[in-house]
Structure formats: structure tokens, C-alpha cells
Structure 1
Amino acid sequence: MAHISDDQLFEHNARVKDKVVVITGAANGIGKETAKRFASYGAKVVIGDRDIEGGKAAVREIEADGGKAVFVKCDVLSWDEQTAVFDTAISKYGSVDVVVPNAGVSETTKFGGVTLDKNGKPVKPKFLTMDINLTGVLYTVHLSLHYLKLNRKENDLKSIILIGSVASWMPIPGGPLYTASKHAILGVMRSLHLILELQSIRIGVIHPFFADTAIVPLPVKVVLAGIPLTPVPRVAGAIFYAATDPDPETSGCAWLLLDDGPVFRVKPDQFKQGVYQMIDDRANGLLKIAKGVTHYYRVSRDLWRLLGKQVVVLGLGAALAKVTWDRRELLASYIR
């Protein structure tokens, strides 16, 4: 299992010059950072997102830095709107070369908390998390299989990079739908790998630990205070590297960002050789940060950043006691 250092993540940047990159959910967070990175190396970026103001702002930032980008309003659950994103890429820039189905959500339904109707019968649950994180991604991938081939030239860079999670490998307590969707994303990549290899299309899936983005709610960030979060720029770098690495042997890989450490590359033949144990060991190791002065420094620093003056009012001692009290139970009860 190899690791990729930060100074390697963009070493193949010349491959994206004048290429066309389609990214969903790129108005904010990881998607926006990824779009800006590709554009900074000469790629033409097509952003699809429901957030109209955020999407337009992302385009303005890219253009202000000399890059090229266009925004298309897109709800990933709308087949027509997704198709419009790809059609825009073809009509404006002439091709589609890299696709990143980034749009996703956290747990949106309290699965297991059964609601009863007026007759005492269970109400049908809503599975929006599965719809967006899986069905929406499958729409994007399905469209990619067509549009990546249009106007294609020999030896062109062609990639599909999916966004998984550590939840693709281990359970998130209280988050069964999110966990299910991210396990599925890993399975989709593994299933498509050999098929796409025959077509010289790269595929990979990125697995970040919790990152400091809007998708992670404030209460969860409070629970995670003191635990190193995955830096957003490094996640974007992993996406970039997975898409641009010219070595065909690295297609079909999983790219793990388990904490604030380096990116790990897991090849297909390693998926069943201790990966689960390695992830479990590292995840459990993070919880050991709860001991020692270093932990309390990180907790106080993160709580001050998240809560500001509230920490002064409540008292740092009380805040620390509350946060360190049974973290896992707090996280599970919030998601439930």
C-alpha cells in the first residue's frame, strides 16, 4: 500500500491543460476546491450544482484567477438537468475528459425512528441520502459513459473519479443510509473498473475521513474537536492525482485519507488484504488523542474556532468536560 505525498499530487498537471472537467456539487467545499485546482492548471471546468449563487461565485473566482469555467444549475436527481450539464460541456468546450460526481449529503433521515400515521401504521420513510449519494451518482456515471467518448482523440485523458468515504469501509454509528451509500460507491467503482479499463477510461474512488466542510454539521464538529480533520485541499489533490496519474495500473484504486496524514493508494488486489484492519487500527488510534495535553490543546483550539465567545461564557473547563464525555454516544445520538 503506497502513500502519495502532497508534493506528488499535482505532478501530472500538464495532462489537464485544455481538458474539460465536469464536477457536480462544486459550488462549495471539496467540489469547489477541486474545480479551482483543475482550472489553475488550464482545465476548462463545468460546475453543476443546486446552489445557483454559490456556483456562479465559484465561476467568478476561477475566472478572476485566469481560468475558464461555466455554471449550470443542476439537481443531481434530475436526469434532464444532469444531461444539460454534459451538453453544456460539449457545446461550449467540445468534449468531456474528467468527471467527478461530487454532489452528496450526510444522513438526512433518522433511520429506525419509525413515524406512525393517524391509524397507527408506519409511514413510508424517505431515503434522500441514498437518492443523492447513489442514484444521483449513477446518473452522472451513466452519462459519463456516453459523453467521455464524444470527439475523443487517441490517448486522450479520460477519467471518472467517485467520492466515497471512510464509511465505504467501516460503519458510521447512527448513519446507516450514509454508510450504505458510500459502501455502494466503492462497489460501483470495483464493478466498472475492468469494463472501463478496456476503453482506456480511468476510474477511482476517494475516501476521506471527516473534512472541515459544510456537509459536516456543527454538533458533529464539536464532537470531533481535537481530532485531526482531513484537509480539503488534500482531498482535492487526491481527486486530481487519481484522475491524472498516467500509470494504468493505478486505475481501479481506492485513495484513502484517513486523518490529516498522507493519501494512501490501495490497489484492487489489496482490497482483501488487511485494509479493514488497517483502517480500524488508525480510526481507533484517533480516539487515543483523548489522552494527554496535546488532546486538550486541540479541543480548546477547535472549540474556540467553532464557538468563539461562547466558550468564554460557558467556561473552558465545562466545555471540555461536555465534549469529552462519551464522544461516540454523542455522535450516534445526534445522527439518530
Structure 2
Amino acid sequence: MIAKTEPCVEANSGAPVAQFLPEIYKESLDEKVILIVGGANGIGASLVGLCCQNGAYVSIGDIDAVRGDYVASKCIEHWPVHSDPALPPKPPRAAFQRTDVTDYQSVLDLFDNTFNKYKRIDHVVVTAGSTETEEPWFDHALNLTEIRKPPSSRDIDVNLIGTLYVTRIASVYLRHNRGPGVDRSILLFSCSAGFKETPGVSVYQASKHGVQGLMRSLRANFSSPYKHSIRINTICPWMTLTGNSFPKSVEDRWTKEGLPLSTPLDVAQVSAGVLCDQSLNGASMFVAGTRAWEIEGNMERLESQWLGEEPSQTLAQGQKVLQEALAA
């Protein structure tokens, strides 16, 4: 087992919470081809380094060409590829391509070029994200004049539409040039705001709920051997020091209260652990500080408590009917 969960009993709970303990071994990622959308900065850049350090080939897509080129060149410098003289030369350890995740053709070009260069794709990760706080959609100060100006849709475009684009294209490319029993996966980035209300970022939160919903809608379909046999999971980071996530006043108060802060590397390590663990499908990892917990299992296990026994049974029966009817 490459990565595991262990029961961790919280105070006043009596119910086990699955704490995720990522363990990353070189053989888990060695010679794998990993495409990371949003890999030029923050968590994405840290994950690129972790994967290359453990022998993977990484294709980086990002709108930030300066940082993307820098990250790719550093990976090539630090972890060079050694080819057998008797065999064709191997591709570079990392490659960067400027990619606008909101542009379908741009995302498609990234997959095309990655597949042509590396001949297959093993894992796809979407870390690209946007948080616009300067122009709140639901500002209390809005008046009849200001409401006539359409608000920015960038958070929806990047976080949700972009993730939909990448996931759609990945679901096809991951099927090709794969041997029997070879692991493939898609890892999406949601957020704690994807399952818990967060003030001041309504549209961002709606987009991250959408990412969670996308994973939940696909986890049974993608993992079926009669469909794609692809794992799909999400990462839900809490407060992470990425340099542009929260105002300094929030960060200072957070630290004063002793709340957990994650570094990009903390979140990247959890992400790499999820990529490595072939038993994980349909999982969501809530990351706080250096620790992570799987939340989907408890939501399902406790459904009859928060929804009620009878509604839970009715819902399960209805879902079964829908699944069988739509499959037919």
C-alpha cells in the first residue's frame, strides 16, 4: 500500500474519521507521465517537483509562461533523464506549454502535444484556480446603477468550466496506449469551500461545489471496467500559503488563533499520495496544515443520521432505479 488512511477519533464524536497518511515511493511515480494544469506556481509547482523527483515525466500547462518555463527548466536541470544508448532517446523530464484553461482548443492542444511527446498519459491533475475578491457579485453596497454592469465570471470560467474541459478531454486520452491493469487517474482541486460555507467568496464557492459535484457524478462511471477504468478524486485544501489567497489581515488573525496553515508542499504531498494509491476512487481529501482527512466515506456512512433513515432508504432506492434505467 502506497498511501493509507487510519481511523482518528475526534473529541466528542465517537465516530472514526479517516485521516489520510500519504507515503510516496519512487517506484509509485517512476516513468509515469503526469499532466498538471496549473503547474507553474504554488501547489501545482510543488507537485511538479515532487513528481519529477520521483522519476515521473511531467507536462505542465499554465497561463503563466515565464514561471512555467522556469519550473520545467529547473526540473530538467535537477532530475535529468538518462537514456540507454542502445535505445531511442527518452523525452525530457518536464515540458511546458502555455495553456488557457478557459479555452477548449488551448486545453486540447496541451493534451495533443503531451501525447505526441510522451506517447501516453497516466495521470491528469487540475490545480489551476481563480479567486476574485475585488468585485463581489453580492456586495451589500450594490445599487440600481452598479447592478447594470455585468460581473466578472472568471472564477466560474477557470475553476469550473476549465475543470470540465480538462476532465472531458482527459477521459479520452487516458484510455489510449495503456496496458492491462495499468492505473490511470484524474485529480481535481476543489477546496474546503467546496463543502463548507465561506464568507465573501460566493461565486468561488459555487464553482468549487461544482468541482465536487463533477467528481461525484463521474466516480462510479469512470471507475467501471466497462466504461473507462479511471479513478477520479478531489483535494480540498483549507488555508494555504500560496501568496495571493487571502488578505494579510486574515492571515495574521489566522496565525494568532493558532489555526493550521498549509504550505504548497504540504498539499502537494497529499496530492501525490492520492495519485499513488490505486485503492482511492471518489475520495475527497480535506487538507489542514500538514494533515489530511478523507470526507466522502463519513458522509455516506452517516447519511441515515443527517438525512433520516426513511429518506435515506428512499433515496438509495431511487438512485438505484436511475442508475439502472440510464445504463439500459
TM over 0.5: yes
Task: Give the aligned CA root-mean-square deviation in angstroms.
Answer: 2.1
Q: How does 1:55-204 map to 2 (within 5 A)?
A: 55-67=68-80, 68-108=93-133, 109-113=135-139, 114=142, 122-198=148-224, 199-204=228-233
What TM-score comes out, normalization by structure 2 length? 0.76
Q: Which amino acid in 2 is paired with 1:90?
A: F
Q: Which has the higher helix share?
A: 1
Q: Aligned equivalents of 1:121 and 1:3: distance in 2? A: 45
Q: Of 52, 57, 79, which aligns to 1:39?
A: 52
Answer yes or no: is 1:49 the counterpart of 2:62. Answer: yes
Q: Aligned equivalents of 1:85 and 1:245: distance in 2? A: 26
Q: Aligned equivalents of 1:254 and 1:93: distance in 2? A: 29
Answer yes or no: is 1:262 the counterpart of 2:291. Answer: yes
Q: Which amino acid in 2 is paired with 1:231?
A: T
Q: Aligned equivalents of 1:35 and 1:48: distance in 2? A: 11
Q: Aligned equivalents of 2:185 and 2:296: distance in 1? A: 17
Q: Aligned equivalents of 1:224 and 1:197: distance in 2? A: 39
Q: Determine the structure 2 residue equivalent to 1:214.
A: 243
Q: Which amino acid in 1 is paired with 2:275?
A: A
Q: Which amino acid in 1 is paired with 2:117?
A: K
Answer yes or no: is 1:237 the counterpart of 2:269. Answer: yes
Q: Which amino acid in 2 is paired with 1:48?
A: G
Which runs of no fewer than 5 residues in structure 2 stay unpaired? 1-16, 81-92, 307-328
TM-superposition CA deviations, 1:138-185 (whole Å, max 9, x none):
000011011101211111120100111110111110110111111111
Q: Which amino acid in 1 is paired with 2:97?
A: V
Q: Is the 8 A contact 1:116 1:123 kept in 2?
A: no
Q: Aligned equivalents of 2:221 and 2:173: distance in 1? A: 16
- Secondary structure at the aligned position of 2:160 is classed as helix
Which runs of no fewer than 5 residues in structure 1 stay unpaired? 278-336
Most deviating of 37-46 and 229-238: 229-238
- Secondary structure at the aligned position of 1:46 is classed as strand
Q: Determine the structure 2 residue equivalent to 1:14.
A: 27
Instruction: Flag the 1:272–1:80 CA change in 2: closer, same or farther, 3 A.
Output: same
Instruction: Flag the 1:26–1:124 CA change in 2: closer, same or farther, 3 A.
Output: same
TM superposition shift of 1:14: 1.4
Q: How does 1:253-332 map to 2 (within 5 A)?
A: 253-257=283-287, 259-268=288-297, 270-271=299-300, 273=302
TM superposition shift of 1:273: 2.5
Q: Aligned equivalents of 2:35 and 2:117: distance in 1? A: 12
Q: Is the 8 A contact 2:69 2:96 kept in 1?
A: yes
TM superposition shift of 1:233: 1.5
Q: Is the 8 A contact 1:202 1:243 kept in 2?
A: no
What TM-score comes out, normalization by structure 1 length? 0.75
Q: Aligned equivalents of 2:136 and 2:275: distance in 1? A: 35
- Secondary structure at the aligned position of 2:49 is classed as helix
Instruction: Flag the 1:153–1:174 CA change in 2: closer, same or farther, 3 A.
Output: same
- Secondary structure at the aligned position of 1:10 is classed as coil
Q: Aligned equivalents of 1:261 and 1:273: distance in 2? A: 26
Q: Which amino acid in 1 is paired with 2:23?
A: L
Q: Is the 8 A contact 1:15 1:157 kept in 2?
A: no
- Secondary structure at the aligned position of 1:177 is classed as helix
Number of aligned residue pairs: give it: 268
